[in-house]
Structure 1
Amino acid sequence: MIMLHGLIIALLLYYPLPQKTYVTSGFMESRMGRFHAGIDLGTNMQEGVPIISPENGEIYHIHIFNGGYGKAMYMRGNSGKIYVFAHLSRFRSDINKYVLGQQFKTFQYTQNLYFKSRFLVTRNEIIAYTGSSGLKSPHLHFEMRSKSNDPINPIPFLNIDDTIPPEIDSVMIVPSDYHSYISGLPIPRIVRNNDSISIKGKFGIIVFCKDYIDNFKYKTVPYEITLITNKINNIVFKANKFKYQNNRFASWFFYRNHKGWGIRLYKNPDSPNLVSPFCGNVSISASDFAGNTNDFHFFVIESCKNNINLPDSDMIFTNGIIHITGKYRQLNFSGANIIKSIHSENIYHFLLSPLSDTICVGKDTFYRLTRKKFLIKKGKYTISLGRNSLREQVIMHLSLKDDSLLIKFSDTPFEKPLVITNNKYRKKEIFYNALNGAYMGTRKAKIRNSMILSVKLDTLPPEVCSVKKERDTIFVSVKDIDSKIRLNSVSAYYSSIRLLSIPTKRGFKFISNKRLPENGLFLLRCEDILNNKLLYKKQFYR
């Protein structure tokens, strides 16, 4: 029996929970302009599951924030590995007591604490409990890092069973520039398994694929992708580790359209020239950490005749090219050159190459943004691509309705997607989350289809929905429809006693290290991230 127990412990080496559970998110997935630095382990939507130490070591850092990782614990093991546990509900009792003391000392919920040899831990000791801090869904975010603090994929260390191979739905062939032709046009094309396609010139490949780790409910990225042609046999993607300085490429690395997430198999955003011109078979192999593999094939035919395969879309702009489709024989435009015009079955196709920063096509206006400081003014907004662009240039289409601005890009070109300024406010950066449309940056911005941002101004202050007092704790439900409350702006008093604010899913709870009298005046001040202020008062009676 003792030998069996020892075997189980050996198999669960590094596993941060008492029992094996399921993986809800994998390593190196796309996360709002960065890579997912760990994995998410499900807890059946329950909080308070014990977290155990993977090895002997010490807790050297505690970080607490309303968003992001929420309550996070950083541990350094004796082996040199670094472990991160995030979205916690509480820490080990002595750590919890110390952290609460620091919060009352500063009257700030947010904390960034470092220690040295203060909180030692032993392997299999309970060091914290799972929760949902920083988000809404309870789970454990678990990271493993090297001695140099670079994220490592923890999956191979956790002895997780996986018999489900990755799936490759399709691939997109991307021309290097408008001198490269895919099925006769310098625009991207979708290819299915075992298809043949005419290609002239250099091109890049985007793979639409997914993997399932031990269950079909949650999708993630494959562990490895290999590209094989008569000129190449290389591993072009491997989700085993990355460096934080490469996070800037995450927004561009993952391509999103109506088919889902695609992985780019080329590195240069401005020149997708991974594959040089050739004729023959292309094989793409996707595999997971357990060795399950799935293959995808297509055949390249180099054609000088440029056999035209016309797209269905009415308007495409990608790779610096504007492609317009319609029933008009002539096209009224300015600021661009016609690269190619095609007439097929009473439909006319025009491919335009921009000559200036503003391109007018009929009633539509397109803008060319470059890394230079180029500003566009549209209604109340001023828009700038800025210096953080991963592409040299991008084509953008704008439309304005009331206080909402719709922006459509030719491709995701940003490390930090965009800088938008309203005349009343200083510059703010927009961050978007394409997966769930959650709050992003300084204004409410949602992505539609594949590359459209919808931005709306926030002019309303936060609103108090309900207030309830239970002994020495006051619960306040507060919301801000178009923006988000700035956490460090929240301050509350009860009869001159300062209260500590702790975020909850519906608002805040305010606690005190002193007894609160039955009768007293509750005063709350806060503001959203656009400085819309709230001042709230309520008198409590016995």
Structure 2
Amino acid sequence: FTSPLDIPLYLSGTFGELRTNHFHSGIDIKTNGREGQPVKAAASGVVYRIKVSPYGFGNALYVRHPNGYSTVYAHLQRFNEEIAAYVRKEQYRQKSYGVELYPPSEMFPVEQGEVIALSGNSGGSGGPHLHFEVRDTRTENIINPLFFGFDIKDTRHPDLYELLMYRFADKDLIGYDNFRLIEVSDGEYRIAGNDVIEYSGSPAFALQAYDRLDGAANKNGVYQIKMWIGAEEYYDFTMESFAFDETRYINSHIDFGQKICCNKVFNRLYLEPNNRLSVYGEKKKMNLPELERDSIYPVRVEVKDAAGNMASLSFNIKRTGPLEGDAQMVGLPVFKYGQTNYFKTDDIELVLPEGALYRDVYFEYEEKQACEGGVGPVYALGAREIPVHRYFNLKLKPPRSFKGNPRKLAVASVVGGRIADYEGSSWENGYVVGRTRQLGDFTLVADSVPPRISSLDFSSGKNVSSQSFLKLKVTDNFSGIDTYSAEIDGEWVLMEYDAKYRLMTIPTADLKLSSGEHKLVVSVKDEMGNKSEARYSLIF
């Protein structure tokens, strides 16, 4: 492959980086803080998929190559003229801004180095850049693009920050200690103030580590981590390739609780029982070791980036004895990862499917006082720090004291005593049903407030004939935007939506209107079915 950009390549994100609920599936190439860089096909092939979305990848192109690989180009500002004309035609045919298209293979052949798009900041992007991927065409597995010879300078070793040491009693996690790491020589790290770490029970570790490439200050993900206890290798993680359907197992790979409580990302240096990621070495070696009492064992951890630069951590551990279980947990129900788990009261039904957990956990329940904006009590259903892999249904019964429209009730998560996220609002046998992939606090919320629509650069009665775009801002108080549309004189017109900025834009170049007054109607509906309309009389 050749570079998809004609500028020096600096990365703001590496392959397999630890993101929220997923591993990063490509590399993020900096575009000098600007949109509009020409994006070129990395090899000859055909465009086989085109996607436009307010979320995720935004504007994205997928190119299939004869060498067995496909490449992906995402967060684009716009496609080249030929592709853009096809997309626009399909958007009008489907009457939808968001489209996913699979053109015939002969429609868009591309040559290596041909400009296929301009770089941008569309979808869920946090700033201008090009997201670039390489995939195995047959399996759709994502492959580390840094294996394909791109000129990306990296002479810096990974940085190691902090170590966690967990204390297990009969496979129950009792607690942990954290240790600050210091660099004693180039790439060699030790634990600050400790020669030997003493512990009870069975040991396990997690490591906070990042990599920085030349020419960029971004904290990127690492490529490989290995750990030895004594002479035996106990852990081997290498980020070469993974499948999309396993990416959520990241929540087992990391210490999810540390991310929730402290916004710190630690790589576990052991495997939980239901971690099914394919990025590890021989898994049977990665169980918690049983070490002899009062013996000292050396531990060595090696961390590499894709360029082969290495950092290492060395320390010693000593087991002082067994560890008692947590008496506070005695008598609590245990949710097992290998079976379906149920919890029910008069007002709640929860069914957690088999495989939803990464290990067996104690399930704690508490009914709390109502929070501001909530309807009825707050239900504490397990700890928010426990990650959940699969969606599950959570049913809450409305309190008898509620006198409003029950069809305007929704399940909401509660974080820090405040309403957080909309989790669903279907009905089943007198319960409001949410569908979620998290434990924690939940309550009911009544939402009958429609979205708010505000014009930004025009108003009713204005002459807009010289404007290239008509811009509006749309906001919703709770459940989020579900559908949106615009019509002029009763005919559907394209309205682009940038969800992160809550910005809707109507390109006027597409409008074939006669001179004079025309009626614009913008309609927006939220997930609860609340609908708003804004009407404008405009002069073109």
TM-score higher than 0.5: yes
Q: 1:122 aligns with which of 100, 107, 111?
A: 111
Identify the residue that residue 475 of structure 1 maps to in structure 2: 471
Q: 1:118 to 1:224 in 2, by over 3 A?
A: same
The answer to whether the 8 A contact 1:43-1:49 is kept is: yes
Normalising by the residue count of structure 1, what TM-score does the alignment of the two structures yield?
0.75
Deviation sequence 1:374-433 (CA, Å, 0-9, x none): 346798x86654443333334456655233659672743212576555655699898999
1:107 matched to 2:81? The reply is no
Q: 2:66 aligns with which of 70, 78, 90?
A: 78
**1:82-93 to 2 correspondence within 5 Å?**
82-93=70-81
| C-alpha RMSD of matched pairs (Å) | 3.7
Q: CA deviation at 1:156?
A: 3.4
Q: CA deviation at 1:45?
A: 2.4
Secondary structure in structure 2 of the residue aligned to 1:220: coil
Q: 1:428 to 1:289 in 2, by over 3 A?
A: farther
CA–CA distance in 2 between the matches of 1:282 and 1:402?
A: 50
The answer to whether the 8 A contact 2:414-2:443 is kept is: no
1:510 matched to 2:484? The reply is no
CA–CA distance in 2 between the matches of 1:66 and 1:232?
A: 49
Identify the residue that residue 431 of structure 2 maps to in structure 1: none
- AA aligned to 2:389 is E
Deviation sequence 1:443-480 (CA, Å, 0-9, x none): 9xxxxxx9977888472321012262733854322212
Identify the residue that residue 355 of structure 1 maps to in structure 2: 331
CA–CA distance in 2 between the matches of 1:426 and 1:224?
A: 49
CA–CA distance in 2 between the matches of 1:263 and 1:94?
A: 45
Q: 1:109 to 1:390 in 2, by over 3 A?
A: same
Identify the residue that residue 214 of structure 1 maps to in structure 2: 214
1:151 matched to 2:142? The reply is yes
Deviation sequence 1:112-141 (CA, Å, 0-9, x none): 111212211111111111111103522111
CA–CA distance in 1 between the matches of 2:31 and 2:414?
A: 27
The answer to whether the 8 A contact 2:469-2:505 is kept is: yes
Secondary structure in structure 2 of the residue aligned to 1:352: helix
The answer to whether the 8 A contact 2:387-2:439 is kept is: no
Q: 2:360 aligns with which of 358, 377, 392?
A: 392
CA–CA distance in 1 between the matches of 2:421 and 2:218?
A: 23
- AA aligned to 2:340 is K
Q: CA deviation at 1:438?
A: 11
- AA aligned to 2:387 is P
CA–CA distance in 2 between the matches of 1:456 and 1:211?
A: 43
Normalising by the residue count of structure 2, what TM-score does the alignment of the two structures yield?
0.75
The answer to whether the 8 A contact 1:90-1:129 is kept is: yes
Q: 1:484 to 1:476 in 2, by over 3 A?
A: same
Identify the residue that residue 530 of structure 2 maps to in structure 1: 532
Deviation sequence 1:325-374 (CA, Å, 0-9, x none): xxxxxxxxxxxxxx66xxxxxxxxx74224244xxxxxxxxx96976343
Identify the residue that residue 265 of structure 1 maps to in structure 2: 269
Q: CA deviation at 1:513?
A: 4.3
- AA aligned to 1:526 is V
Q: 1:414 to 1:305 in 2, by over 3 A?
A: closer
The answer to whether the 8 A contact 2:413-2:443 is kept is: no
Identify the residue that residue 490 of structure 1 maps to in structure 2: 484
1:163 matched to 2:155? The reply is yes
1:198 matched to 2:189? The reply is no
Q: 2:170 aligns with which of 169, 179, 194?
A: 179
Q: 1:267 to 1:210 in 2, by over 3 A?
A: same
Q: Which moved more, 1:123-132 or 1:154-163?
A: 154-163
1:142 matched to 2:132? The reply is yes
Q: CA deviation at 1:517?
A: 5.3
Q: CA deviation at 1:99?
A: 0.8
Q: 1:190 to 1:482 in 2, by over 3 A?
A: same
Identify the residue that residue 40 of structure 1 maps to in structure 2: 28
Q: CA deviation at 1:22?
A: 1.9
Q: 1:409 to 1:356 in 2, by over 3 A?
A: closer
Secondary structure in structure 2 of the residue aligned to 1:48: coil
Q: 1:120 to 1:305 in 2, by over 3 A?
A: closer
The answer to whether the 8 A contact 1:165-1:292 is kept is: yes
Unmatched runs of 5 consecutive residues or more in structure 2: 181-189, 276-285, 399-405, 426-437
Q: Which moved more, 1:283-292 or 1:383-392?
A: 383-392
Identify the residue that residue 342 of structure 2 maps to in structure 1: 374
The answer to whether the 8 A contact 1:377-1:383 is kept is: no
Percent of aligned pairs sharing the same letter: 23
CA–CA distance in 2 between the matches of 1:38 and 1:204?
A: 30
Number of residue pairs matched by the alignment: 465
Identify the residue that residue 323 of structure 1 maps to in structure 2: none
Secondary structure in structure 2 of the residue aligned to 1:108: coil
CA–CA distance in 2 between the matches of 1:80 and 1:128?
A: 23
CA–CA distance in 1 between the matches of 2:346 and 2:130?
A: 43
CA–CA distance in 2 between the matches of 1:32 and 1:501?
A: 30
CA–CA distance in 2 between the matches of 1:288 and 1:224?
A: 6
**1:336-355 to 2 correspondence within 5 Å?**
351-355=327-331
- AA aligned to 1:137 is G
CA–CA distance in 2 between the matches of 1:130 and 1:281?
A: 49
The answer to whether the 8 A contact 1:389-1:413 is kept is: yes
The answer to whether the 8 A contact 1:197-1:301 is kept is: yes
Deviation sequence 1:161-210 (CA, Å, 0-9, x none): 1122112222222344x3369xxx93222244343222344333211111
Identify the residue that residue 319 of structure 1 maps to in structure 2: none
